[in-house]
């Protein structure tokens, strides 16, 4: 929200035992993943090998009206996607699913993540005559799968061969004429899980979407795992590489919904624990604990419980303004802050406030929020951030590609405190964040945004797509 990281995408799919409107189930699931992307959404349906789809820019509820859902055919398989662009700009043609027709059949793909070597792979494909219609790295994945499928005996063999050349984050759902296939990259950068809806098999980026559509959580897809569903039966294959595991720790800090469980760890509990550690690590004499809604709420509750300082609302948030970081300029985002948040004068006037949030990225918006609290009469504002300082570029699906835009790379903590006009400022230590993450059922995490140390080799620089650059004469 506001001065926040842009989110990745969300994927959802279902293999239904009966020939029915599987698109309806997928639409419900996508609604539960809307927080992962608000730029575009799409659904593809497999009807006896024929793939039909609808996608557009906007929210799930705006795109998939009853009329649109009725127009989609019945089918046992369906996959869907909500998008926020981290590679490729925000255009309708970049919306997913991506549907490809090739010599051996139809293919539909949805993708959450970012391919670190996408530019290199795209250049190789273009040199071989490939013609791209989008600026998304997902199309690169599609091309490689098709290339490998023309040589392989099965789709899963083609996917295994594709995984050998991809570097980066990819949680995929792939629909072929007869199969629904779920894939999670070998490091497990992004979450992916499966569930059961009666006898139907369901896949989702987060468990909260399973809950919303009435499915029962079965398990997480493991890093490097390929789950193939055919004729209602699932089988599993595994691909490993030499790099360590690397679930994005920011899934627990901000990206995932609080009601999700990611790799065995409750997101709500992780954030509440972050608040508890903050209270132990950075106590302060205050009258109330408050949060920047909704990103800091869970951590603020943990801080309150640990410190015994009562939690109270400091802001009323409008329910009718979209997530402001979706706006394409910082100027617009900042103007929307005033519309979206209004300080509760009665709650903060004359009081010392502990203000908890999940992160500070550029620092522009937190300053405006503090100013609003002080204008409402708050006596002191003590900012507590439920993550370490954000200093690193992300190559795996978070839209931060310039370390110079990060306030923690320009100023010390004391200088940041002065910049945002807080009475004190403290960040959660990396040590405490690692303690929280260690409760998950995965052996490693990517903390590159806090340490600039990454689980895999990274490119020397991020190449902007040539088709998004203006022509200079």
Count of Cβ atoms closer than 10 Å to residue 329 Cβ: 8
Burial environment of residue 300 by CB neighbours within 10 A (0 to 12, 13 to 18, 19 or more): buried
Q: Could you give the dihedral angle defined by the CA atoms of residues 386, 188, 10 and 29, in that order, rounded to the nearest 10 degrees?
A: -100
Q: Extract the tokens encoding 73.
A: 């055919």
Distances from the Cα of 448 to the Cα of 217, 226, 268, 383, 464, angstroms:
30, 26, 22, 24, 21
* Residue 462 neighbours by CB under 8 Å, 6+ apart: 393, 395, 401
Distances from the Cα of 467 to the Cα of 88, 132, 402, angstroms:
10, 10, 20
Burial environment of residue 466 by CB neighbours within 10 A (0 to 12, 13 to 18, 19 or more): exposed
Q: How far apart are CA 125 and CA 333, in angstroms?
A: 38
| Phi, psi of 347, rounded to the nearest 5 degrees | -80, -30
Q: Which of 9, 27, 208, 449 is catalytic?
A: 9
Is residue 248 annotated as a catalytic residue, yes or no?
no
Q: How far apart are CA 328 and CA 183, in angstroms?
A: 31
* Residue 415 neighbours by CB under 8 Å, 6+ apart: none
Count of Cβ atoms closer than 10 Å to residue 101 Cβ: 9
Catalytic residues: 9
């Amino acid at each position: 929200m506001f001065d926040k990281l842009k989110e990745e995408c969300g994927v959802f799919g279902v293999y239904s035992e009966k020939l029915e409107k599987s698109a309806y189930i997928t639409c419900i699931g996508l609604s539960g993943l809307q927080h992962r992307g608000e730029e575009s959404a799409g659904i593809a349906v497999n009807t006896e090998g024929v793939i039909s789809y609808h996608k557009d820019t906007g929210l799930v509820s705006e795109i998939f009206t009853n009329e649109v859902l009725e127009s989609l055919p019945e089918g046992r398989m369906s996959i869907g996607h909500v998008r926020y662009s981290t590679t490729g700009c925000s255009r309708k043609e970049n919306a997913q699913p991506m549907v490809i027709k090739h010599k051996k059949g139809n293919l539909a793909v949805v993708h959450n993540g970012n391919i670190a070597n996408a530019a290199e792979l795209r250049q190789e494909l273009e040199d071989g005559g490939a013609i791209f219609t989008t600026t998304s790295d997902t199309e690169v994945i599609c091309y490689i799968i098709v290339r490998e499928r023309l040589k392989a005996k099965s789709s899963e063999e083609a996917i295994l061969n594709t995984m050998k050349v991809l570097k980066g984050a990819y949680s995929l759902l792939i629909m072929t004429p007869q199969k629904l296939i779920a894939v999670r990259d070998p490091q497990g950068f992004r979450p992916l899980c499966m569930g059961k809806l009666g006898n139907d098999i369901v896949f989702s980026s987060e468990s909260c979407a399973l809950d919303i559509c009435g499915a029962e959580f079965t398990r997480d897809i493991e890093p490097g795992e390929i789950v193939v569903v055919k004729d209602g039966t699932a089988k599993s294959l595994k691909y490993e590489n030499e790099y360590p595991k690397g679930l994005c720790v920011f899934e627990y800090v901000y990206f995932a919904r609080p009601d999700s469980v990611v790799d065995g760890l409750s997101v709500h509990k992780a954030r509440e624990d972050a608040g508890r550690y903050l209270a132990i690590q950075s106590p302060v004499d205050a009258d109330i604990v408050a949060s920047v809604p909704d990103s800091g709420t869970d951590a603020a509750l943990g801080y309150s419980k640990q410190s015994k300082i009562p939690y109270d609302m400091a802001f009323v948030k409008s329910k009718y303004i979209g997530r402001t970081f979706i706006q394409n300029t910082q100027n617009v985002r900042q103007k929307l802050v005033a519309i979206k948040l209004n300080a509760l004068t009665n709650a903060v006037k004359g009081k010392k406030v502990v203000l908890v949030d999940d992160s500070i990225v550029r620092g522009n918006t937190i300053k405006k929020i503090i100013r609003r609290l002080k204008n409402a009469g708050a006596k002191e504002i003590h900012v507590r951030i439920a993550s370490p300082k954000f200093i690193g570029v992300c190559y795996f699906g978070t839209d931060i590609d310039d370390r110079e835009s990060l306030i923690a790379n320009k100023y010390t903590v004391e200088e940041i405190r002065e910049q945002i006009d807080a009475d004190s400022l403290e960040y959660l230590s990396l040590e405490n964040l690692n303690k929280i993450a260690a409760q998950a059922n995965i052996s490693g995490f990517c903390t590159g945004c806090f340490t600039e140390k990454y689980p895999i080799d990274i490119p020397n620089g991020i190449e902007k797509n040539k088709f998004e650059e203006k022509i200079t004469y």
